[in-house]
Amino acid sequence: MLTKKAKYALLALIYLAKHQNDGPVLIAQLAADEKIPRKFLERILLDLKNAGILQSKKGKGGGYSLQESTDKIMVGDVIRLMDGPIAPVPCVSKTAYAKCKECGDEASCAIRVVMKEVRDAIAEIVDNTSLTDMLKMANNGKRVSDYAI
Amino acid sequence: MLTKKAKYALLALIYLAKHQNDGPVLIAQLAADEKIPRKFLERILLDLKNAGILQSKKGKGGGYSLQESTDKIMVGDVIRLMDGPIAPVPCVSKTAYAKCKECGDEASCAIRVVMKEVRDAIAEIVDNTSLTDMLKMANNGKRVSDYAI
DNA sequence: CTTTTACTATACCTGTTTTATAGAGTTTGT
DNA sequence: ACAAACTCTATAAAACAGGTATAGTAAAAG
């Protein structure tokens, strides 16, 4: 399940992408327009900044703006940053592997095989969808150009 | 993330499938062999029984056994029963749809488009993988016969 | 027909994570 | 100096995961 944190992060990124030409965006403005609790949003934006996705400017006339180009910002990276690994079980995670104690032998664990397929299917989508893609979807209501499988 | 409840349920089902010819299996035996906390397992087996997946027999010589054939028992059904809907956001769930308040207009919500793809990708796998398939995987360490896409 | 075996049902508990909020601190522009 | 605006730490309510306790029901053995 996608947490609200990740959802807010994606909403914020879409918002910032749409306002790229307006200079830095205020946290207060973003919070009000997207109806995100302000203090919670501060935390999220800070995390995105520390990950190098956003940049900020302090003081009067400050605010947040994108640091990377919209086609470099991947949905998968944002979700991992906010919610942690995508894999449904740790033993199939590529970015945060950990052995599952429940399944004795990994090689013969059927759950692991199925969950690996699930992980790969999710990653295939979220790691090939950029903020650029999402902007197009917001206009069309559907995916425009498919990614290559 | 798959909870331990769902994981235990799948382990129990695989165990029961392997012991189909041995008559009813005791909760105690299953708990010991699969290293699942007994009281927790009782709850899980009861849920599976109430869903029509298992059957039970009380008294001496009693225990649990499969009610449905192994190719009718789908991984997706077990996960939904234990963990709830598969969809990462409620507004793309087929079995438990609910509107997301965060995204104003569903038609132009890019998050929704991506998460729908994710939901469908997950469902495609778990709703086409049966207990029979998992038993084969436990022998081979990988999927044997692919499902049709 | 009583005892033992074994599943059934409900309620409770405890630690962690999620979803925030409060408030002091720091930087910057004018 | 002053105010705008981001930064950082601490705190907390609510939900959830994972597990425990207790009492009850049904069936078979003897």
Instruction: Please write the tens of the pLDDT for every residue from B114-130.
Output: 999 999 999 999 999 99
| Contacts with B11 from chain A: Cβ below 8 Å | 102-103, 111
Partner-chain residue, chosen from A89, A115, A122, that has the shortest CB–CB distance to B121 = A122
Compare all CA atoms of chain B with the CA of A87 and give the residue at the minimum distance.
B1
CB < 8 Å from A in window 107-146 of B: 107-111, 113-115, 117-118, 121-122, 124-126, 129, 133-135, 137-139, 141-143
What's the 3-state SS for chain A?
CCCHHHHHHHHHHHHHHHCHHHCCECHHHHHHHHCCCHHHHHHHHHHHHHCCCEEEECCCCCEEEECCCCCCCEHHHHHHHHHCCCCCCHHHCCCCCCCCCCCCCHHHCHHHHHHHHHHHHHHHHHCCCEHHHHHHHHHHCCCCCCCCC
Beta carbons within 8 Å of A23's beta carbon, 6+ residues apart: A61, A63, A65
Q: How far is CA B63 from CA A87, B48, B59, B118, in A?
A: 34, 13, 8, 39
Cα(B96)–Cα(B142) distance, integer angstroms: 31
Question: Do residues B78 and B16 touch, judged by C-beta distance below 8 A?
Answer: no
pLDDT digits (tens, 9 = 90+) for B37-65: 999 999 999 999 999 999 999 999 999 99
Residue nearest to nucleotide C28 (CA to C1'): A59
Compare all CA atoms of chain B with the CA of A10 and give the residue at the minimum distance.
B111
Q: Is A149 on the interface with B (CB under 8 A)?
A: no
Q: Is B75 on the interface with A (CB under 8 A)?
A: yes
Q: Cα–Cα–Cα angle for B111, B112, B113, nearest 5°?
A: 95
Please determine, for residue B140, whether its predicted confidence score (pLDDT) is greater than 90: no
Please determine, for residue A75, whether its predicted confidence score (pLDDT) is greater than 60: yes
- Chain-chain contact of B110 with A135 (C-beta, under 8 angstroms): yes
In one letter, which amino acid is B39?
A: K
Compare all CA atoms of chain A with the CA of B143 and give the residue at the minimum distance.
A113
Rounded average pLDDT over A88-108: 91
Say whether the CB atom of B35 is under 7 angstroms from strand D.
Answer: no
Q: Report helix, strand or coil for B33.
A: helix
- The neighbouring-strand residues paired with B25 are B64
Question: Do residues B68 and B53 touch, judged by C-beta distance below 8 A?
Answer: yes
Confidence at B144, pLDDT banded by 50, 70, 90: confident
- What is the spatial distance, in angstroms and rounded to an integer, between the CA atom of A134 and the C1' atom of C10? 47
Distance (Å) from the C-alpha of residue A1 to the closest C-alpha of chain B?
4
Confidence at A142, pLDDT banded by 50, 70, 90: confident
Per-residue confidence (pLDDT) for residue B142, from 0 to 100: 85
Instruction: Name the pTM for this structure.
Output: 0.95
Q: Measuring from the CA of residue B64 to each C1', which nucleotide is nearest? A: C7
Q: Is B58 on the interface with A (CB under 8 A)?
A: no
Beta carbons within 8 Å of A128's beta carbon, 6+ residues apart: A74, A147, A148
- What is the spatial distance, in angstroms and rounded to an integer, between the CA atom of A98 and the C1' atom of D11? 32
- Chain-chain contact of B107 with A35 (C-beta, under 8 angstroms): no
Q: Is the CA virtual torsion B140, B124, A135, A82 positive or negative?
A: negative
Query: What does R_g of chain B's alpha carbons equal in angstroms?
Result: 18
Question: Do residues B91 and B105 touch, judged by C-beta distance below 8 A?
Answer: no
N-to-C CA span, chain B: 24
pLDDT digits (tens, 9 = 90+) for B67-89: 999 999 999 999 999 999 999 99
